[in-house]
Amino acid sequence: MPHKTSTPQQHNAKAERARRLLAGSAVSREDSDDELGYEDLPWEWIYEAQKPREADQNGNGDDEDAAASTKTRRNKPVRATSRTQDQKIIGARMGSFQCQVGDCVLLKAEGEGSKAWVGMICEFAEDETGEKSANVMWFSSEHEITNKHKKRSDFLPNELYISPSWDLNPLESINGKAIIMSDKAFYAKYPSGKVPRKSKEYGKTFICRRGCNTRTATYTEEFVWEDIYHGTEEDVEALIERLKRDTKATRKRQKATKPTEDDEFHARDNVDDEPGTPRKRQKTSTVSTPRKPRTPSKLMTPSHKRVVVKKPLEFTPLGTRILAADHVFSSPFQTARSRLHVSAVPNTLPCREDEFASVYSHLEAAISDGSGACIYISGTPGTGKTATVREVVAQLNASVMEDELDDFIFVEINGMKVADPHQSYSLLWEALKGDRVSPSHALDLLEREFNHPTPRRVPCVVLMDELDQLVTKNQSVMYNFFNWPGLRHSKLIVLAVANTMDLPERTLSNKISSRLGLTRITFPGYTHEQLMKIIQSRLEGVPGNIVDSDAVQFASRKVAAVSGDARRALDICRRAVELAEADALEAEPVPGTPSKSAVKANKGSQPSKTLGKVTIATVKRAINEATTNPLQQCLRGLPLSAKVLLAALIAKTRRTGIAESILGEVLDEAKRMAKMDTGGNMIEFLLKDELAPTNKNMHSTARQYSKDPRVLSMGTSVIDLMEAGIIGLETQKADRTSKIRLSIGEEDVKLAFKDDPEIKNLGF
Ligand SMILES: Nc1ncnc2c1ncn2[C@@H]1O[C@H](COP(=O)(O)OP(=O)(O)OP(=O)(O)O)[C@@H](O)[C@H]1O
């Protein structure tokens, strides 16, 4: 490859750039001074027996100082992460260039021209594909410390901080050796404070006198580089220990007591730390992957399509007013209602301790290891899956605030809320980079992102809720989200939440899903005792003892008998509180006139002592209301064929785990169900008529067939159900290939048909 030439002007410009050492987070350096030469030779391991330094053909006379720091460990074996024929890897070589553990190296910064990152090699690794990498501990410049309050003002022009942050980088990104010195050694060698431009050390020499966790801006005490570091393996380990120990921030959360001056200082620190959402890292330059070919620019897809970056959607937040608790919850009823509301975030999640611990430990391990993970969480509706995951994320976020855990990005993608499952790609990309791009571009970019290493990539936790809704025809969205965490550089942690246990097997085949190595956590439905605990814990501290424990038990038993769904139990109890509250208001005496309830009470229809209290009777009323709402009434009044069809649709959805089914298959299912119904007297007709054309024109014909006005053909039922908004049909013209899905909650259908003698035997 020809040597690059530059005009004098270009050279001056380059030199100027190089003089502005540490101008960004990466450092500038002369790219004409490439120690590795311009030929892309393959990288090779140096094994223990080969005594690498003796074979050093580097010919780089000025390298002596660079090597000085490693003198004491020459020929000493280093920690190895892979072995070949029982030989230990002690270094790596490309042509005449060699490096070992403990060496400080320059790594190319992608798209940054002459810029480079500086890191210390801590170990070598080779993956199953044969890709050779080095685990590098980063040096950071003061530009990376964004905390204005803690940023030091005494940094020197070419000072770097060694930081407790590591990344695996391919050996191809190594671009030469860096020389690290104490400030004293540096000024002794370069009294002017500048490395002469002609020197081979120009652009490669840095001062290091402190360690720093750049995220929290926590510094170690000042040290003398040459005292603490001679390049031995022990020195690397001691340095890592020192950094971990001394850059752990002592920041504590604000106490309820009067803040001290120190607390106030730290509280200021937290100003930009929005509670509940992990802070996003600033975008940083990236180390390039292989030196050749260059990876395409950020705004090009791997297929060289231009990416149109859309402006992020901007929301104008509504003004928020925080009302005092006393003001909002002026009565025990109001307090109870708000605590029982399903949108309230409970203080605790009783009966989910094991599931919480399991999700927490998997997530924490993946974030701190910087690895990917895919956790598949299943359980029927209302079993606390979403609530548990959100609580885990909130707690992990608190650990980040306490500097006990590395930063992570959190993004929630809800299958119910995305119009097209492919939008998930755009949402993930936006969470990672802040750019909104089309789904297909986002997919290209994500593919490239997860297949290539980037220094200091922040782990990303994705909650994919209502996964069933995201399953597309070719399963590509689900496959990608399950597959990416397994890619070595992705640091992607996917929490997939679905109602069915075996959705991956059903939709991706056993072979693929077992290769994906999902971690599975199942949330069982709540028992009535558990539902009682959940409700009682929400009511804790509500004054006035307004809910009888018998009433809570009654509601819990009723719900547990059907579904074990905490949402439904909470809804019933909240409604019961509303009814009791209305009773209490009614009972309030209006001056001069006896209240209606008082009259009722006097008549003995309701004992006055229960007025305004939630009793079993109040819960019964609430349940009754829930079961007599217009939707319930509509469902109960459906013709038998429509009921069988809905039962079949639910059975099918449950079996496949996919919200959408093919109409023809649902009709077949209905037929099977009908056959099972031994006592059914109208099923025979349904079977005959099942294949009748199902478009609108057949309405009247189908009705004519019917001997019983309650029985319509399946085809007519499909149309009627669609028009009532109970099911959704892909097209107006229903044929066997159309897709059909339930547009109301499965629970509503279950509740309506629970005691229906005609349908309850159909085994759905
Ligand atoms: N153990 C619990 N303690 C307190 N509240 C709970 C508990 N489990 C669930 N809940 C509450 O029940 C409601 C439903 O829970 P959540 O949304 O987490 O269920 P889910 O399993 O994700 O349901 P779906 O599959 O329908 O999304 C929420 O209001 C939640 O706070």
Structure letter (DSSP) for residue 610: G
Is residue 641 a contact partner of residue 711, using CB atoms and an 8 Å limit? yes
Residue scoring higher pLDDT (88 or 497): 497
In percent, how much of the chain has pLDDT > 70?
A: 68
745 in contact with ligand 1, CB cutoff 6 A: no
389 in contact with ligand 1, CB cutoff 6 A: no
Nearest residue CA, atom 10 of ligand 1?
384
Q: Distance between CA 203 and CA 29 in Å, rounded?
A: 5
**30 Cα–ligand 1 center, Å:** 58
**749 Cα–ligand 1 center, Å:** 20
**365 Cα–ligand 1 center, Å:** 25
Beta carbons within 8 Å of 194's beta carbon, 6+ residues apart: 19
The domain 8-246 having CATH identifier 1.10.287.610: the answer here is no
The pLDDT mean for the chain works out to 74
**516 Cα–ligand 1 center, Å:** 28
**532 Cα–ligand 1 center, Å:** 14
**296 Cα–ligand 1 center, Å:** 45
**382 Cα–ligand 1 center, Å:** 5
Q: How many CB atoms lie within 10 A of CB 132?
A: 19
Closest CA to 336 of 535, 577, 616: 577
Q: Distance between CA 667 and CA 690 in Å, rounded?
A: 7
377 in contact with ligand 1, CB cutoff 6 A: no
**340 Cα–ligand 1 center, Å:** 12
Closest CA to 677 of 691, 667, 662, 687: 687
User: Does the pLDDT of residue 221 top 70, yes or no?
Assistant: yes
ipTM here? 0.98
Q: What is the sign of the dihedral through the CA atoms of 58, 59, 60 and 61?
A: positive
504 in contact with ligand 1, CB cutoff 6 A: no
| Ranges of each domain in the chain | 8-246, 348-522, 528-627, 634-762
Closest CA to 566 of 380, 348, 347: 380
3-state helix, strand, coil in the chain (%, to 5): 40, 15, 45
Q: What is the mean pLDDT of residues 161-172?
A: 85
C-alpha 477 chain-centroid distance? 15
| Fold of the domain spanning 528-627 | Helicase, Ruva Protein; domain 3 (1.10.8)
N-to-C CA span, the chain: 71
Structure tokens at 608: 């006055």
521 in contact with ligand 1, CB cutoff 6 A: no
**384 Cα–ligand 1 center, Å:** 3
**565 Cα–ligand 1 center, Å:** 8
Q: What tens digit of pLDDT does each residue of 261-274 get? A: 333 333 333 333 33
The pLDDT-based confidence of 346 (bands split at 50, 70, 90) is confident
Q: What is the 3-state secondary structure (H, E, C) of 637-651?
A: CCCHHHHHHHHHHHH
pLDDT of residue 652: 86
pLDDT of residue 763: 57
385 in contact with ligand 1, CB cutoff 6 A: yes
Nearest residue CA, atom 7 of ligand 1?
384
567 in contact with ligand 1, CB cutoff 6 A: yes
384 in contact with ligand 1, CB cutoff 6 A: yes
Q: What tens digit of pLDDT does each residue of 662-702 get? A: 888 888 888 777 766 544 444 444 444 443 444 444 343 33
Q: What is the mean pLDDT of residues 68-85?
A: 37
566 in contact with ligand 1, CB cutoff 6 A: yes
Determine the 3-state secondary structure of 529 from DSSP: helix
pLDDT of residue 149: 74
Closest CA to 486 of 366, 363, 372: 372
Is residue 612 a contact partner of residue 587, using CB atoms and an 8 Å limit? yes
| Plot region of 262 (φ>0 → left; ψ -120 to 50 → alpha; else → beta) | alpha
The pLDDT-based confidence of 59 (bands split at 50, 70, 90) is very low
Q: Distance between CA 211 and CA 602 in Å, rounded?
A: 80
332 in contact with ligand 1, CB cutoff 6 A: no
pLDDT of residue 504: 87
Q: What is the sign of the dihedral through the CA atoms of 471, 472, 477 and 482?
A: positive
Nearest residue CA, atom 25 of ligand 1?
381
Beta carbons within 8 Å of 664's beta carbon, 6+ residues apart: 735, 736, 737
383 in contact with ligand 1, CB cutoff 6 A: yes
**570 Cα–ligand 1 center, Å:** 10
Q: What tens digit of pLDDT does each residue of 289-303 get? A: 222 323 333 344 444
352 in contact with ligand 1, CB cutoff 6 A: yes
- Please identify, by atom number, the ligand 1 atom nearest to the C-alpha of residue 530: 1
Nearest residue CA, atom 28 of ligand 1?
342
Specify burial of residue 425 (Cβ count, 10 A radius: 0-12, 13-18, 19+): buried
- Please identify, by atom number, the ligand 1 atom nearest to the C-alpha of residue 465: 27
Main-chain phi, psi angles of 149, to 5 degrees = -75, -30
CATH number for the 634-762 domain, one of 1.10.10.2450, 3.40.50.970, 1.10.3810.10, 1.10.3720.10? 1.10.10.2450
Structure tokens at 470: 């995201």
Q: What tens digit of pLDDT does each residue of 482-519 get? A: 999 999 889 999 999 998 888 888 788 777 888 888 89
| Fold of the domain spanning 348-522 | Rossmann fold (3.40.50)
Nearest residue CA, atom 15 of ligand 1?
384
pLDDT of residue 588: 61
Q: What tens digit of pLDDT does each residue of 420-457 get? A: 889 999 999 999 988 889 999 999 999 988 987 766 67
Nearest residue CA, atom 9 of ligand 1?
384
